[in-house]
Structure 1
Amino acid sequence: MLDTVGPELQVVNKSEKSIALKAESLVVLTPDQDKEATSEVLPINYGGLSKAVKKGDTIFLGQYLFTGSETTSVWLE
Protein backbone atom coordinates (compact mmCIF):
# COMPACT_ATOMS: atom_id res chain seq x y z
CA MET A 1 0.00 0.00 0.00
CA LEU A 2 1.19 3.49 -0.84
CA ASP A 3 -0.05 6.24 1.47
CA THR A 4 0.87 9.79 0.54
CA VAL A 5 -0.20 13.24 1.63
CA GLY A 6 -2.02 15.30 -1.01
CA PRO A 7 0.87 17.29 -2.53
CA GLU A 8 3.00 14.16 -3.08
CA LEU A 9 0.66 12.78 -5.74
CA GLN A 10 -1.63 15.10 -7.64
CA VAL A 11 -3.64 15.01 -10.85
CA VAL A 12 -2.19 17.62 -13.23
CA ASN A 13 -5.08 19.46 -14.87
CA LYS A 14 -3.52 22.42 -16.67
CA SER A 15 -6.80 23.45 -18.30
CA GLU A 16 -8.55 23.48 -14.89
CA LYS A 17 -11.73 22.25 -16.62
CA SER A 18 -13.99 19.94 -14.64
CA ILE A 19 -13.49 16.24 -15.34
CA ALA A 20 -16.43 13.85 -14.99
CA LEU A 21 -15.52 10.27 -14.10
CA LYS A 22 -18.13 7.56 -14.61
CA ALA A 23 -18.51 4.40 -12.56
CA GLU A 24 -17.09 1.28 -14.22
CA SER A 25 -15.11 3.28 -16.80
CA LEU A 26 -11.42 2.81 -17.61
CA VAL A 27 -9.09 5.60 -16.46
CA VAL A 28 -5.35 5.70 -17.21
CA LEU A 29 -3.02 7.40 -14.73
CA THR A 30 0.07 8.63 -16.58
CA PRO A 31 3.23 10.41 -15.41
CA ASP A 32 3.23 12.28 -18.77
CA GLN A 33 2.22 15.73 -17.55
CA ASP A 34 2.02 17.01 -21.15
CA LYS A 35 -1.15 14.93 -21.67
CA GLU A 36 -4.46 16.74 -21.34
CA ALA A 37 -6.51 15.64 -18.32
CA THR A 38 -9.73 13.96 -19.47
CA SER A 39 -12.20 11.42 -18.14
CA GLU A 40 -10.04 8.72 -19.79
CA VAL A 41 -6.52 9.98 -18.95
CA LEU A 42 -5.33 11.62 -15.74
CA PRO A 43 -1.75 12.95 -15.78
CA ILE A 44 -0.13 12.75 -12.34
CA ASN A 45 2.96 14.34 -10.83
CA TYR A 46 4.31 11.07 -9.41
CA GLY A 47 6.52 9.09 -11.78
CA GLY A 48 7.04 6.21 -9.34
CA LEU A 49 3.41 5.09 -9.15
CA SER A 50 3.92 2.09 -11.44
CA LYS A 51 6.57 0.77 -9.02
CA ALA A 52 4.48 1.48 -5.92
CA VAL A 53 1.30 -0.36 -6.99
CA LYS A 54 0.54 -3.55 -8.85
CA LYS A 55 -2.24 -4.62 -11.21
CA GLY A 56 -5.46 -5.08 -9.31
CA ASP A 57 -4.60 -2.65 -6.51
CA THR A 58 -7.27 -0.15 -5.49
CA ILE A 59 -6.26 3.52 -5.65
CA PHE A 60 -8.10 6.09 -3.55
CA LEU A 61 -8.02 9.41 -5.41
CA GLY A 62 -9.57 11.49 -2.70
CA GLN A 63 -12.70 12.97 -1.37
CA TYR A 64 -13.34 16.68 -0.99
CA LEU A 65 -10.51 18.08 -3.13
CA PHE A 66 -11.30 15.80 -6.06
CA THR A 67 -15.09 15.66 -5.87
CA GLY A 68 -16.03 18.86 -4.04
CA SER A 69 -18.18 16.69 -1.79
CA GLU A 70 -17.75 15.65 1.79
CA THR A 71 -19.79 12.48 1.24
CA THR A 72 -18.46 11.18 -2.10
CA SER A 73 -15.05 9.63 -2.78
CA VAL A 74 -13.25 8.44 -5.91
CA TRP A 75 -11.67 4.97 -5.99
CA LEU A 76 -9.88 3.33 -8.92
CA GLU A 77 -9.63 -0.45 -9.12
Structure 2
Amino acid sequence: MLTPRGGGTGTNGQSLTDGIVVDISRYMNRILEIDVENRRVRVQAGVIKDQLNAALKPHGLFFCPRALHF
Protein backbone atom coordinates (compact mmCIF):
# COMPACT_ATOMS: atom_id res chain seq x y z
CA MET A 1 0.00 0.00 0.00
CA LEU A 2 1.28 3.48 -0.90
CA THR A 3 -0.01 6.35 1.27
CA PRO A 4 0.70 10.05 0.62
CA ARG A 5 1.43 12.13 3.72
CA GLY A 6 0.80 15.88 3.76
CA GLY A 7 1.64 18.41 6.45
CA GLY A 8 1.09 16.01 9.34
CA THR A 9 -1.44 18.19 11.14
CA GLY A 10 -4.37 15.80 10.73
CA THR A 11 -6.22 14.83 13.89
CA ASN A 12 -7.23 11.30 12.91
CA GLY A 13 -3.92 9.54 12.25
CA GLN A 14 -4.44 9.48 8.49
CA SER A 15 -0.82 8.61 7.70
CA LEU A 16 -0.72 5.57 9.99
CA THR A 17 -0.32 2.53 7.78
CA ASP A 18 1.71 -0.63 7.47
CA GLY A 19 2.63 0.27 3.88
CA ILE A 20 4.96 2.84 2.36
CA VAL A 21 4.35 6.48 3.32
CA VAL A 22 5.40 9.15 0.80
CA ASP A 23 5.94 12.62 2.32
CA ILE A 24 4.73 15.22 -0.19
CA SER A 25 5.03 18.26 2.11
CA ARG A 26 8.33 19.43 0.63
CA TYR A 27 6.83 20.36 -2.73
CA MET A 28 3.08 20.62 -2.09
CA ASN A 29 2.98 23.26 0.64
CA ARG A 30 1.33 26.29 -0.94
CA ILE A 31 -1.77 28.20 0.07
CA LEU A 32 -3.58 28.55 -3.25
CA GLU A 33 -6.52 30.78 -2.41
CA ILE A 34 -8.04 32.58 0.57
CA ASP A 35 -11.70 33.53 0.07
CA VAL A 36 -12.37 35.78 3.05
CA GLU A 37 -15.98 36.54 2.11
CA ASN A 38 -17.01 32.87 2.04
CA ARG A 39 -14.49 31.84 4.73
CA ARG A 40 -12.94 29.21 2.50
CA VAL A 41 -9.35 28.41 1.68
CA ARG A 42 -7.70 26.14 -0.90
CA VAL A 43 -4.37 24.62 0.05
CA GLN A 44 -2.04 21.89 -1.13
CA ALA A 45 -1.74 18.78 1.03
CA GLY A 46 1.58 19.78 2.66
CA VAL A 47 0.40 23.03 4.26
CA ILE A 48 0.69 22.89 8.04
CA LYS A 49 -1.88 24.46 10.34
CA ASP A 50 0.50 27.11 11.74
CA GLN A 51 1.42 28.22 8.21
CA LEU A 52 -2.25 28.51 7.29
CA ASN A 53 -3.14 30.40 10.45
CA ALA A 54 -0.30 32.89 9.86
CA ALA A 55 -1.77 33.63 6.42
CA LEU A 56 -5.31 33.94 7.80
CA LYS A 57 -4.43 36.16 10.77
CA PRO A 58 -4.35 39.47 8.82
CA HIS A 59 -7.96 38.72 7.78
CA GLY A 60 -9.08 38.11 11.38
CA LEU A 61 -9.58 34.38 10.67
CA PHE A 62 -8.05 31.12 11.90
CA PHE A 63 -8.40 27.42 11.18
CA CYS A 64 -9.13 25.04 14.01
CA PRO A 65 -9.94 21.45 13.06
CA ARG A 66 -13.00 20.06 14.76
CA ALA A 67 -12.62 17.05 16.99
CA LEU A 68 -15.01 14.25 16.15
CA HIS A 69 -17.11 13.00 19.02
CA PHE A 70 -18.96 9.71 18.80
- Please identify the structure whose Cα radius of gyration is greater: 2
Under TM normalisation by the shorter chain, which class is it? under 0.3
Give me the TM-score of the superposition, normalised by structure 1: 0.21
| The structure with more strand, counted as a fraction of residues | 2
